[in-house]
Amino acid sequence: MVKVDFAKVPIVNIEGVVIEMSFRQQIGNQLYMTGRNIEECELGKRIYFSDGEIELSEKEVAIVKHIIEGYSFVAREALCSLL
């Protein structure tokens, strides 16, 4: 199990400054709308409506990693460092 706060993802901007970005709604909505089963849709809702850290199982981490494969290098690296 891993705890992740998708609303506070530390990411290095172009100036080299670490800022916090929220991916909560983006990842949650994407999972909900493209989920291949009820489990993925429910995970999307958990992430979208999360308020702080949520616990993810190894299987859920794999699902999120699959979803973010198409994200930019910078966003993907920031998210993977939390997973």
Please report, for the chain, the start and end positions of each structural domain, with discontinuous segments joined by +.
Answer: 2-82
So what's the pLDDT on residue 33? 97
pLDDT tens by residue, 18-61: 999 999 999 999 999 999 999 999 999 999 999 999 999 999 99
What pLDDT band is residue 7 in, cutting at 50, 70 and 90?
very high
Of 50, 49, 73, 54, give the one whose Cα is nearest residue 3: 54
Confidence at residue 80, expressed as pLDDT on a 0 to 100 scale: 96
β pairing state of 54-56 and 18-21: unpaired
The pLDDT-based confidence of 11 (bands split at 50, 70, 90) is very high
User: So what's the pLDDT on residue 41?
Assistant: 97
